[in-house]
Amino acid sequence: MQKMTSCCVDVCNTNAEKSSPFPDRNKALTITSWRTAASPIRCLKPGIDQVQIPSAILTLVIGMALALGGLWIGQNINLLPIDASANAPIYDELFKVLFTIGSILFVGIVGLLVFSLIRFRRRSGQLGDGLAIEGNLPLEIFWTAVPAVVVLFVGLYSYDIYDRMGGMVPLAHDHMGGAHEEQIWGGISSGSIESAAATNVLPVEVTAMQFAFLFHYPEGDITSGELHVPADRPITLRMEAKDVIHAFWVPEFRLKQDIIPGQPTQLSFTPTRTGRYPIVCAELCGPYHGGMRSTVVVESPEDWDSWYGQNAKAAPEEETLTIANA
């Protein structure tokens, strides 16, 4: 009798030995053909060959259908809100790739499972066991290698995406004044997206507290409860939390950064599409966490200029009024 520890069993031999006393011969055939389809070793057993080729083709066809179906799903089913920043389309590219790969894997695996459950179900009156196949080394290598390659590809690809979004760029140095030794913590930097336009960056200071965001434009000394930004100009948020951890999230920008007390954090982005988008606090910060929301208003540069001009010298009280009108 075979030992449990021998994982690799030569299926060709196993079939030859074991399927003979087995009542249902069809099963033996299916096993062999399935195995040959997926691994390079071929069984040279006459009589089985006839089943092999069609099933190999079948596998190929199913595989192609899966791949195409996955691609179609990835390209055509959009689960994301509109994109409104320079890095959002880059993010959506990644999402499509992940969605495609995920769909192929999921549909493939579930399909295989459901097929097995139906094809190999025990019919009434059937006694006895299935085939005594304990393992198959080429197959094991195959399904170790494929996910490894996929995962490596996805990892490197998403790193490229992250780099293009500005995640890998060292943060711009504290050009907004303040203590120079102070450590600034990561987020996304706009450096790689517009390194040329880096001088044109609009700095905004964000203060998060229970349960509101406060935006301060140091250059015009404006303080506002809403974030007004001009389209197509890089913005750098310098964020600080007063009490507990909050998170700055704009779903349409595909950006999120925790605002951690004690750690000034910097986040850069370039809005591209005018409109009003929600700013959501994404980190549990107390009972009113769900109500800690604000709005980012992306305006055309002209509109923004006039908003900025109106508010730049205004006192904080009047400014709230202007915002309400805007």
Partner 1 sequence: MTISLPPETSSPPRLQPSGWLRYFSFSVDHKVIGLQYLVCGFVFYLIGGALAGAIRTELTSPVSDFMARDVYNQVLTLHGTVMIFLWIVPVVNGAFGNYLIPFYVGARDMAFPRLNAVAFWLIPPAGLMLITSYFLTGAAQSGWTAYPPLSITTPATGQIIWILSVLLLGGSSIFGGINFIATILKLRRPGLKLMQLPMYCWAMLGTSILVVLSTPVLAGTLVLLSFDIVAHTGFFNPTLGGNVVVYQHLFWFYSHPAVYIMVLPAFGLVSEILPVHARKPLFGYVTMVYSIMAIVVLGLIVWAHHMFTSGTPPWMRLFFTIATAFIAVPTGIKFFNWLATLWGGRISLNSAMLFSCGFIVNFVLGGITGVALAQVPFDIHVHDTYFVVAHFHYIVFGGSVFVIFASVYHWYPKFTGRMLNEDLGRLHCALTFIGFNLCFGPQHWLGLNGMPRRVAEYDPQFTLINQISSVGALLMAISTLPFLWNVIHSALNGPVAGDNPWKALTPEWLTSSPPPVENWIGEAPLVEEPYGYGVPPGELDLSAASGRDLWSSGK
Binding site for ligand HEA (CB under 6 A): 105, 109, 147, 150-151
Residues 203-232 that bind ligand CUA (CB under 6 A): 211
Q: Which one of 235, 285, 298, 323 is in contact with ligand CUA (CB under 6 A)?
A: 285
Residues near 86 by Cβ (< 8 Å), separated by ≥ 6? Answer: 190, 193, 269, 270, 271, 272
Q: Which one of 35, 238, 254, 289 is in contact with ligand CUA (CB under 6 A)?
A: 289
Q: Which one of 258, 297, 299, 308 is in contact with partner 1 (CB under 8 A)?
A: 258
CB 142 to ligand HEA: min, Å: 12
Residues 210-239 that bind partner 1 (CB under 8 A): none
Binding partner of 176, given partner 1, ligand HEA, ligand CUA, none, CB within 5-8 angstroms per partner class: none
How many CB atoms neighbour CB 120 within 10 A?
A: 11
Gap between the Cα atoms of 98 and 219, Å rounded: 41
Gap between the Cα atoms of 85 and 90, Å rounded: 10
Q: Are 60 and 30 a contacting pair, CB within 8 Å?
A: no
Binding partner of 274, given ligand HEA, ligand CUA, partner 1, none, CB within 5-8 angstroms per partner class: none
Residues near 245 by Cβ (< 8 Å), separated by ≥ 6? Answer: 258, 259, 260, 261, 283, 285
Residues near 120 by Cβ (< 8 Å), separated by ≥ 6? Answer: 27, 130
Nearer to ligand HEA, 60 or 151 (CB): 151
Only one of the segments 77-85, 162-170, 179-187, 278-286 lies at the binding site for ligand CUA (rule: CB under 6 A); that segment is 278-286
Gap between the Cα atoms of 272 and 252, Å rounded: 10
Gap between the Cα atoms of 202 and 324, Å rounded: 23
Residues 107-136 that bind partner 1 (CB under 8 A): 109-110, 112-113, 116-117, 120-122, 126-136
Q: Which one of 165, 206, 281, 296 is in contact with ligand CUA (CB under 6 A)?
A: 281
Query: Can the peptide bond before residue 269 be classed as cis, meaning omega within 30 degrees of 0?
Result: no
Which residues would be at the binding site for ligand CUA (CB under 6 A)?
211, 246, 281, 283-285, 289, 292
